[in-house]
Amino acid sequence: MKRTVQINGLSELKNFSERFANCLSGDEIILLKGNLGTGKTTFTKFLVGSLGGSEEDVNSPTFTVMNEYDTKKFAVYHIDLYRVKEFDITDFIGHGIVVIEWPEEDYSQYGVPVIEITFEYGDDEYKRILIVSSVYKANHVFNCLFNSD
């Protein structure tokens, strides 16, 4: 399953993040793909905010590899594999949402739902195109997001 979402400005990304947050059960892996500066970390900020956490706490974990955030709903484990290509996530699986920028391996092996969002630039500075796909057992998220369209 795959759907394309047009994002026209940061407030639309925020709205989408809110809808997305409301569709999560708490154990999903979310893979964020796309070029530098397309909005993967910004999406994560809005997602954490939407779950009742603090947007300001979210920053790029490029140097620390992983940041952990508390929210009202679930813990969020935010991983960036841009520089580090291998990072063992087994300890976090099932204990919260795992968000991975620049994912590497096949995450279907962990048995929890996997959803992928690829970020692309749109035709002006504030536009983005998000390609959302259900990679593994994530139909609940996908249906929740798109069935009402």
Ligand X SMILES: Nc1ncnc2c1ncn2[C@@H]1O[C@H](COP(=O)(O)OP(=O)(O)OP(=O)(O)O)[C@@H](O)[C@H]1O
What residue ranges bind ligand X (CB under 6 A)? 7, 9-10, 13, 34, 36-42, 60, 101, 119, 126, 128
Closest chain position to Mg ion (CB): 41
Q: Which of 40, 45, 78, 128 touches Mg ion by CB under 5 A?
A: 40
- Give the separation between CA 113 and CA 25, rounded to whole angstroms: 10
Look up tokens 């706490």; give the residue: 57
Look up tokens 């087994």; give the residue: 90
Beta carbon of residue 128, minimum distance to ligand X (angstroms, whole number): 4
Kind and range of the H or E run holding 10: helix 10-21
**Closer residue to ligand X (CB): 79 or 138:** 79
**Closer residue to ligand X (CB): 77 or 128:** 128
Beta carbon of residue 77, minimum distance to ligand X (angstroms, whole number): 16
Rounded to the nearest 5 percent, the helix, strand and coil shares of the chain are: 25, 30, 45
The residues pairing with 127 across neighbouring beta strands, listed in sequence order, are 8
Beta carbon of residue 140, minimum distance to ligand X (angstroms, whole number): 25
Beta carbon of residue 88, minimum distance to ligand X (angstroms, whole number): 21
Kindly list the distances between the CA atom of residue 138 and the CA atoms of 1, 33, 54, 96, 117, in Å, as whole numbers in the listed order. 9, 17, 26, 15, 12
Lay out the site mask for Mg ion across 89-118 (x = CB under 5 A, - = otherwise): ------------x-----------------
Tokens describing residue 40: 């993967």
Query: Judged by CB under 5 A, does residue 45 bind Mg ion?
Result: no
Residues that bind Mg ion (CB under 5 A): 40-41, 60, 101
